[in-house]
Chain A
Amino acid sequence: MTDPLVIFDLLLALAIVALAAASLSVRDLFSMIVLFIIFGLLSALAWVRLSAPDVALAEAAIGTGVTGALLLKTLHHLRFASGTLGQKAAYGVTPVAPVPMAVIMTNAVFCGLITLGLVVAFLGAPAAGPGFDPLVAEAMPQSGVEHPVTGVLLNFRSYDTLMEVVVLLAAVVAVWQIERGLSEAPAPAMGEVWQGFARLALPAIVVVGTYLLWVGAEAPGGAFQGGAVLAAVGLLLLLTRAYVPQPAHRGIARGAFVLGTAAFALVALLVASGGRVAFEYPLDHAKTLILLIEGMVTISIAVTLAALFHGREPVALAKGDRNDT
């Protein structure tokens, strides 16, 4: 115990495991989500302690912020569907039917298999090896950026990153296929103080998101973190009703969904047409190309996450319907 931070790390690890156990075992759905959000924030802190600020930013912005908002929105709909919305002490109600034992067991088996696979992978990995750090450090001058994580994500393993962008695209396509039209659940009225706060926070979030994107070339940050922060702008706009999705805006939204994937794939193809391997950016233009891809991907991620939060395709309204999507 030479380093007092060891005590802090132990407490942090204990708190994370305890929060995970608590969020799984608590009966009330709202408490469950709140515990999950705190779990995510402490995980982000743990990533900081592990000297991985990029992962910490992603965990805080996507894993905690956007996912927490999505879960709370889902709960709002569940409560509406089960008729417990607006009831007194509604937060004590768990509005889902009991899950069949067979489903629980199947899930448990799959989770167990995944855990087992992780254990095997962890035990099979060389302990305290040099890892890929020297390789990355050696190749950094060819990447076009100064920050190793961005170099790896957008250059050395850009195919994986492209697939991650495609996953988001697939998610929003699926959601728009399933849910259309108007939300039945009334949007919660948040009041004037909240509106004022949103007005104050909105410009700051835009600046922070853009800064995260820009700084990704030389410091922790990048498209996913910046995109998630910018998605918060969409969330604020939707929650304050400053922006109500219109059927006429679907074309712009669809364009924004595919923008990142398209730009990414197009750059790869154009590079490949010049007699190189796909994703092998010419060194002189590497930084420009990476920033271009990251910028487009950020727009896609922000719009996609905001659309996922809205959760349904805005289709044309029949006359007489209330417009309360």
Chain B
Amino acid sequence: MQDVVAAVLITTGTVFFIAGTVGLLRFPDIFCRLHALTKADGLGLALIALGVAFLAATPGAVFRIVLIWFFVAAASATCGHLVARYARRSGAGVRHD
């Protein structure tokens, strides 16, 4: 039962990652791309972490997965902010159409 739940969660998370990647490749400018990446990957990461937590053997392992999820999520949100901030200030990523 746990295996099935984990598999469903990880698969759903992977779908979000793929959606984020498609957005990164297909969207027109840097802000749209960041929007796709940070939102979709953030949700995908949470789902995959939850799925892996179901497979973890010990409470210690679950705790570590939660820590990894928290810091990766915080770091990727910060990175998204920094990239957007740099693009807005330098005017590098603005769409021309």
**Chain A residues packing against B (C-beta within 8 Å):** 86-91, 190-191, 193-194, 197, 200-201, 204
Chain B nearest CB from A198 CB (Å) reads 9
Q: Is B75 interfacial (CB-CB < 8 Å)? A: yes
Chain A nearest CB from B44 CB (Å) reads 18
With A191-B85, A201-B71, A204-B71 known to touch, is A90 a contact of B78 (CB < 8 Å)?
no
- In the complex the two chains form, is B78's CB within 8 Å of A194's CB? yes
The one of B71, B78, B92 that contacts A89, using a Cβ cutoff of 8 Å: B92
Q: Is B26 interfacial (CB-CB < 8 Å)? A: no
Chain A nearest CB from B3 CB (Å) reads 16
- In the complex the two chains form, is B92's CB within 8 Å of A190's CB? no
Bound-complex Cα distance A198 to B75 (A): 9
The one of B67, B71, B90 that contacts A90, using a Cβ cutoff of 8 Å: B90
- In the complex the two chains form, is A86's CB within 8 Å of B81's CB? no
Bound-complex Cα distance A57 to B8 (A): 30
Chain A nearest CB from B30 CB (Å) reads 11
**Chain B residues packing against A (C-beta within 8 Å):** 67, 71, 74-75, 78, 81-82, 85, 90-92
In the bound complex, residues from chain A placing their C-beta under 8 Å from that of B82 are: 190-191, 193-194
- Closest B residue by C-beta to A200: B74
Bound-complex Cα distance A278 to B95 (A): 66
- In the complex the two chains form, is A193's CB within 8 Å of B74's CB? no
- In the complex the two chains form, is A197's CB within 8 Å of B92's CB? no
- In the complex the two chains form, is B78's CB within 8 Å of A193's CB? yes
Chain B nearest CB from A272 CB (Å) reads 41
In the bound complex, residues from chain A placing their C-beta under 8 Å from that of B74 are: 197, 200-201
Bound-complex Cα distance A223 to B92 (A): 41
- Closest B residue by C-beta to A188: B86
Bound-complex Cα distance A200 to B85 (A): 20
Bound-complex Cα distance A193 to B90 (A): 18
In the bound complex, residues from chain B placing their C-beta under 8 Å from that of A190 are: 82
With A197-B75, A201-B74, A204-B71 known to touch, is A88 a contact of B81 (CB < 8 Å)?
no
- In the complex the two chains form, is A90's CB within 8 Å of B92's CB? yes
- In the complex the two chains form, is B92's CB within 8 Å of A88's CB? yes
- Closest B residue by C-beta to A198: B78
Query: What are 16 inter-chain pairs, A to B, with CB distance below 8 A?
Result: A87-B90, A88-B90, A88-B92, A89-B90, A90-B90, A90-B92, A91-B92, A191-B81, A191-B82, A191-B85, A193-B82, A194-B82, A197-B75, A201-B74, A204-B67, A204-B71
Bound-complex Cα distance A190 to B89 (A): 12
Bound-complex Cα distance A87 to B89 (A): 10
Bound-complex Cα distance A190 to B75 (A): 14
Chain A nearest CB from B8 CB (Å) reads 19
- In the complex the two chains form, is B81's CB within 8 Å of A193's CB? yes
- Closest A residue by C-beta to B92: A89
With A191-B85, A204-B71 known to touch, is A197 a contact of B78 (CB < 8 Å)?
yes
Max chain A C-beta neighbours (<10 A), residue from B74, B75, B78, B90: B78
- In the complex the two chains form, is B75's CB within 8 Å of A201's CB? yes
In the bound complex, residues from chain B placing their C-beta under 8 Å from that of A193 are: 78, 81-82, 85
In the bound complex, residues from chain A placing their C-beta under 8 Å from that of B67 are: 204
Chain A nearest CB from B96 CB (Å) reads 11
- In the complex the two chains form, is A86's CB within 8 Å of B90's CB? yes
